[in-house]
Structure 1
Amino acid sequence: MGHSHNHSHNHVNLRGRNLVISILLNIVITLAQVVGGLISGSLSLLSDALHNFSDVLSLVISYIANKYSGKAASLQKTFGYKRAEIVAAFVNAATLIVVAIFLIKEAIIRFQDPHEIKSGLVIWLSLIAILGNGFSVLLLKKDSETNMNMKSVYLHLLTDMMASVAVLIGGLLMKYYQIYWVDSVLTLIIALYLIVMGYDLLKDSFKVLMLFTPNSIEIEKIVADIQKLKGIKNVHHVHIWQLNEEEIHLEAHIDFTEDIPLSKFDTILHEIEDLVHENYDINHVNIQPEFGKCDIKDVIVQD
């Protein structure tokens, strides 16, 4: 167990280091793009800077959540801060959508009145942003596959890298073909893409925060499997929820066919734990044993 704890702690520290590197990179990129956007008059460059600033905020939020998630539980916080990263993912996904709505508004205003833009500066700054965000994306990619918090910042950075590619294309079109309205069109495309990406993550993190049953789990099937075990008459009052990426909890009342001793209940409990862990990846089980109790026997009961 000690080795497992140390490995987890080291992994959290590695995530933290990668987040710090990404924060510093994005601060530099944001400042450069703001100055460059104001000088060149490019809305798409300023919109990219705004998105980069939202990246900085999301990275800071994720860094704090990453640190807090490792804090120990206490009498007042019995789950510790295990949900900190889910909260961070929800906040970051929401900011993606808010930024996108702002960009849509600005793009429509600018489209009605296109401005001449100093495209040379736009091209160079977008190249710097592509390199900086690309490096950050590579740093966070592995953790984004297993951690919702890291996925939220990964999406921020990935979409920003793609936005910078769009800005680069726009800069080239403006430089060689004087098509200045493309600046607004690219801003609009970037914003719509942010909404699509942000919505899925917002929905997933919302489900976890609301204690919804994970999509991969069918409660009726779990109940049927448990009721096949010897000595179990009925499974009811079931709750299944996801605490964070690593923990899925099952809580249920179980009617037994006879008034069994505690030692026999422990044996059956181990059978239930093994069953739900192997078949459904549920790793925390809380069972209330009952015999002849007059209560509602429905699978789902409103508490």
Structure 2
Amino acid sequence: MDQEQLSGRRFLEVTVLNALITVFEFVGGLLSGSLSLLSDAVHNLGDSLSIIFSYVAHVISKRKQTKTNTYGFKRAEILSALFNAIFLIILSVFLIFGAIDRIQNPEKINGLVMLIVAVVGTVANLISTLLLSKGAKHNLNMKATYLHLLSDTLSSMGIIVGGILIELFNWTIIDPIITILVACYILWESLPVLHKTIAILMECAPKLDYAGINQDLLKIDGITRVHHVHALMVDENSIVFSAHVNMENMQLNQVQHIYDQINQLLKGKYGIDHVTIQPETTHGEDEDFFYDKDKDI
């Protein structure tokens, strides 16, 4: 089974699991009166929709480039990650406000029902999290979905603790407190994903050793200056780099040899996927590495 089929199967398995958890926790929340269970059920419902959305984006991102999408469709996953991060942040804010209201207006909670539902939810969420954990390391879309599932797992574990404390000591206030703690954790994990997706969509320069790139390029025989550099990320794993390179006056076949060295250096040492070089002799030789004198796009 190839990676594409494996990803599709795992997305399906996780979606089915989350749908079952949603129904189970919603019923359990109504029976027990637990806000944390009901909020977790709503969270799981959002997760199920998010997982479907993420998988569709994953499939679209694998399409080859076309005449109208010359860089391909990789940013479909970035858009999905952005959507998921925003959803998580909005959900967290609603959970916090709901928990504050429950602290001010406490209600009776059945700790035993809450505990049983939370244990089942924890096991199911943990399985879902493990299914997507590997892909989350190198893919923002998978990471955003993984964070959904991880937050659900932590939430369910917190609800277990809450259920025990309510059943033993009748500490009903622990229910909204757990809700607030989980919501704060979701915010903490979601904000970096939001920041990175926005940076990619705004075509911010990736974090590279630009001083090192400049020094290494100048070491190549025939290059006298590098300027007018642009760098951006198509997605979190694909970097595009372009530069104007001043070279000694030479024949075109010699320039090609320098191109090969530049490509080998940038791809091998700095992980840059797509390199575009504009060769020049003296034009722009007084310009800086990053062009900042006027608009050029």
1:291 aligns with 2:285: no
Q: Which amino acid aligns with 1:232?
A: I
Contact 2:246/2:285, CA 8 A, preserved across alignment: no
* Structure 2: runs of 5 or more not aligned: none
TM-score (structure 1 length as normaliser): 0.93
Name 1:177's counterpart in structure 2: 169
Give identity over the alignment, percent. 37
SS of 1:243's partner is strand
Please give the per-residue CA displacement for 1:142-198, whole angstroms capped at 9, x wherever unaligned. 111121111111111011101000011111111111111111111110111110011
| Equivalence map 1:254-269=2 (5 Å) | 254-258=245-249, 260-269=250-259
Q: CA deviation at 1:296?
A: 6.3
Q: Aligned match of 1:31 in 23, 26, 29?
A: 23
Name 1:69's counterpart in structure 2: 61
Name 2:10's counterpart in structure 1: 18
Distance 1:283 1:72 in 2: 16
Contact 2:227/2:284, CA 8 A, preserved across alignment: no
Contact 2:200/2:236, CA 8 A, preserved across alignment: no
Distance 1:287 1:16 in 2: 38
1:220 aligns with 2:211: yes
Distance 1:58 1:298 in 2: 44
Q: CA deviation at 1:77?
A: 1.5
Q: CA deviation at 1:249?
A: 1.4
Q: CA deviation at 1:81?
A: 1.0
Name 1:211's counterpart in structure 2: 203
Distance 2:200 2:248 in 1: 35
Name 2:237's counterpart in structure 1: 246
Q: Aligned match of 2:50 in 33, 53, 58?
A: 58
Distance 1:294 1:184 in 2: 63
Distance 2:243 2:64 in 1: 27
Contact 1:16/1:66, CA 8 A, preserved across alignment: no
Name 2:268's counterpart in structure 1: 278
1:136 aligns with 2:128: yes
Contact 2:61/2:76, CA 8 A, preserved across alignment: yes
Please give the per-residue CA displacement for 1:194-252, whole angstroms capped at 9, x wherever unaligned. 1001111111222222222222x122221121112111111111011221243211111
Q: Which amino acid aligns with 1:38?
A: L
1:115 aligns with 2:95: no
SS of 2:262's partner is helix
Please give the per-residue CA displacement for 1:125-155, whole angstroms capped at 9, x wherever unaligned. 1111111111111111111112111111111
Contact 1:12/1:70, CA 8 A, preserved across alignment: no
Name 1:229's counterpart in structure 2: 220
Please give the per-residue CA displacement for 1:270-301, whole angstroms capped at 9, x wherever unaligned. 10111112221112110011123258612222
Please give the per-residue CA displacement for 1:104-134, whole angstroms capped at 9, x wherever unaligned. 0000001001100122221111111111111
SS of 2:133's partner is helix
Q: Aligned match of 1:85 in 77, 91, 95?
A: 77
Name 2:179's counterpart in structure 1: 187
Name 2:188's counterpart in structure 1: 196
SS of 1:138's partner is helix
Distance 2:146 2:126 in 1: 10
Contact 1:144/1:151, CA 8 A, preserved across alignment: yes
Name 1:3's counterpart in structure 2: none
1:40 aligns with 2:27: no
Q: Which amino acid aligns with 2:261?
A: E
* Structure 1: runs of 5 or more not aligned: 1-6
Q: Aligned match of 1:166 in 134, 138, 158?
A: 158
Contact 1:12/1:66, CA 8 A, preserved across alignment: no
Runs of 4+ off more than 3 Å: none
Distance 1:49 1:160 in 2: 9
Contact 2:227/2:285, CA 8 A, preserved across alignment: no
TM-score (structure 2 length as normaliser): 0.94
What CA RMSD, in Å, does the superposition of the two structures yield over aligned residues? 1.5
